[in-house]
Chain A
Amino acid sequence: QVQLVQSGAEVRKPGSSVKVSCKASGGTFNNHVISWVRQAPGQGLEWMGGIILMFGTSNYAQKFQGRVTITADESTNTAYMDLRSLRSEDTAVYYCAMSPPSCSTVSCYARMHFWGQGTLVTVSS
């Protein structure tokens, strides 16, 4: 059974960047896709982008193009989400999520079966 453990809460100033990690244990790391989803306080869910681990291919929501980079390190079974030029509206809980095993296509971004515990990122001056 896959478990995802995310890095701890972060506080950043506007204009800076943040990098959140998501370490997977159990299962075969590159047999999945990983999505990143965020949720601002009291708001709904927002898909930011993801990575197809088998190919190392990243895809991003248009809203975040140019401001987010999603990567993965197969040697440590860890995925990363790097968000730049932070503003107060980026204050949110950021989740990583992984597809079931052997689900490794673009459509598998929507099949978020395993989830990390979430990382609160607070952007404040």
Chain B
Amino acid sequence: DIQMTQSPSTLSASVGDRVIITCRASQNINTWLAWYQQKPGKAPKLLIYKASSLESGVPSRFSGSGSGTEFTLTISSLQPDDFATYYCLQYNSYSPELAFGGGTKVAIK
């Protein structure tokens, strides 16, 4: 099984900060990675798929990059609505075995 390791597990930031979250895969997953945002008591929201494709309706301050085993989610200028937990999700076009990372909680500094 492919393991996904996210870092940091928590981070404190201020409105306007640039925030970077990292996700590492235990083996090469090409660009088969998505990013989700979840707020307490709510369903997750898809932000990025295929490592860098912005889902429709998602603000452009969110961006994703990476390939192979290392990926990043960047929030260019943190907004009040962005305080949430973020999860990466690895997938594969051939094998339907998806795995989420452990999550990164973005808190107010």
Binding site for B on A (CB under 8 A): 35, 37, 44-47, 49-50, 59-62, 95, 97, 100, 105-107, 109-113, 115-118
Contacts of A107 in B (CB 8 A): 32, 91-93
Quote the shortest CB–CB distance from A76 to chain B (angstroms): 22
The answer on a CB contact under 8 Å between A109 and B91 is: yes
The answer on a CB contact under 8 Å between B43 and A116 is: yes
The answer on a CB contact under 8 Å between B1 and A62 is: yes
The answer on a CB contact under 8 Å between B102 and A97 is: no
Question: Given A44-B87, A46-B100, A118-B43, is A111 in contact with B34 using a C-beta cutoff of 8 Å?
Answer: yes
Number of A-B contacts (CB under 8 A): 67
The answer on a CB contact under 8 Å between A106 and B99 is: no
Q: Which residue of B lies closest to A59 (CB)?
A: B96
Q: Say which size band chain B's interface belongs to.
A: 20 to 34
The answer on a CB contact under 8 Å between A115 and B44 is: yes
Question: Given A100-B56, A116-B43, is A106 in contact with B96 using a C-beta cutoff of 8 Å?
Answer: yes
Q: Is the interface of A mostly helix, strand, loop or mixed?
A: mixed
Q: Is the interface of B mostly helix, strand, loop or mixed?
A: loop
Quote the shortest CB–CB distance from B26 to chain A (angstroms): 15
Q: Give B30-43 as 1s and 0s: 1 = Cβ < 8 Å from A's Cβ atoms.
A: 00101010100001
Contacts of B62 in A (CB 8 A): none
The answer on a CB contact under 8 Å between A109 and B43 is: no
Quote the shortest CB–CB distance from B3 to chain A (angstroms): 13
Quote the shortest CB–CB distance from B47 to chain A (angstroms): 11
The answer on a CB contact under 8 Å between A62 and B97 is: yes
The answer on a CB contact under 8 Å between A44 and B102 is: yes
The answer on a CB contact under 8 Å between B43 and A115 is: yes
The answer on a CB contact under 8 Å between A109 and B98 is: yes
Contacts of B38 in A (CB 8 A): 45
The answer on a CB contact under 8 Å between B44 and A112 is: yes
